[in-house]
């Protein structure tokens, strides 16, 4: 069992990315669940969703620019 110190923000971001990708190892899962309040994971999730939206908007702009629209 990884030591239940506060997990850094990085692990939360990585876990959120893994969730959006849909693949997560059991080891990381235990590390996530052993840490502090789930609130941080929730907020990271919402933040990552917002980044996902911005990312797709940029993707759209890129597509339009490439097509010379």
Partner 1 sequence: MIRKVWLLPWIGWLVSLPAIAAWDVNMRPGSTAIAREVYDLHMIIFWICVAIGVVVFGVMFWSIIHHRKSRGAEARNFHENTAVEILWTLIPFAILIAMAVPATATLIKMYDNTDAEIDIQVTGYQWKWRYQYLGEDIDFFSSLATSREQINNEAPKGEHYLLEVDNPLVLPVGKKVRFLFTANDVIHSWWVPDLSVKKDAIPGFINESWAIPEEPGIYRGQCTELCGRDHGFMPIVVDVRPQAEFDQWLADTRSAAAAQKASATQEWTLAQLMERGEQVYNTSCAACHQANGQGIPGAFPALAGSPMVTGDIGAHIDIVLHGKAGTAMQAFGAQLNAVDLAAVITYERNAWGNDTGDSVSPQRITELQQ
Partner 2 sequence: MDTTLSQTAGIADHGHGPAKGLGRWLFTTNHKDIGSLYLWFSLLMFLTGGCMALMIRAELFQPGLQLIQPEFFNQMTTMHGLIMVFGAVMPAFVGLANWMIPIMVGAPDMALPRMNNWSFWILPFAFTLMISTLFMEGGGPDFGWTFYAPLSTTYAPPSVTFFIFAVHMMGFSSIMGAINIIATILNLRAPGMTMMKLPLFVWTWLITAFLLIAVMPVLAGVVTMMLMDIHFGTSFFNAAGGGDPVLFQHVFWFFGHPEVYIMILPAFGIISEIIPTFARKRLFGYASMVYATSSIALLSFLVWAHHMFAVGMPLAGELFFMYATMLIAVPTGVKVFNWVATMFHGSMTFETPMLFALAFVVLFTIGGFSGLMLAIAPADFQYHDTYFVVAHFHYVLVPGAIFSIMAGVYYWLPKWTGHMLNERLGKAHFWLSFIGVNITFFPMHFVGLAGMPRRIPDYALQFADFNAVASVGAFIFGFSQLVFVYNIISCIRGGERATDQVWEGSHGLEWTLPSPAPYHTFSKPPLIK
Q: Which is nearer to partner 2, 9 or 63 (CB)?
A: 63
| Contact pattern for partner 1 over residues 5 through 44, marking x by CB under 8 A | ----------------xxxxxx------------------
- The residue written with tokens 């609130």 in the block is 39
16 close to 48: Cβ distance less than 8 angstroms: yes
How far is the C-alpha of 49 from the C-alpha of 60, rounded, in Å? 17
Cα→Cα distances 3→16, 43, 49, 68, Å? 21, 23, 29, 54
Q: Is residue 65 a contact point for partner 1 (CB under 8 A)?
A: no
Q: Supply 31's token pair.
A: 């590390």
Q: Rule CB under 8 A: which residues touch partner 2?
A: 15-16, 18-26, 28-30, 33, 45-46, 48-49, 52-53, 56-57, 59-61, 63-64, 69
Q: Rule CB under 8 A: which residues touch partner 1?
A: 21-26, 63-64, 67, 69
């Amino acid at each position: 069992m990884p030591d239940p110190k506060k997990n850094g923000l990085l692990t939360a971001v990585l876990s959120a990315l893994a969730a959006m990708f849909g693949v997560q190892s059991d080891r990381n899962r235990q590390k996530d669940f052993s840490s502090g309040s789930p609130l941080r994971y929730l907020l990271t999730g919402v933040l990552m969703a917002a980044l996902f939206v911005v990312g797709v908007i940029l993707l759209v702009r890129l597509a339009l620019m490439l097509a010379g629209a």
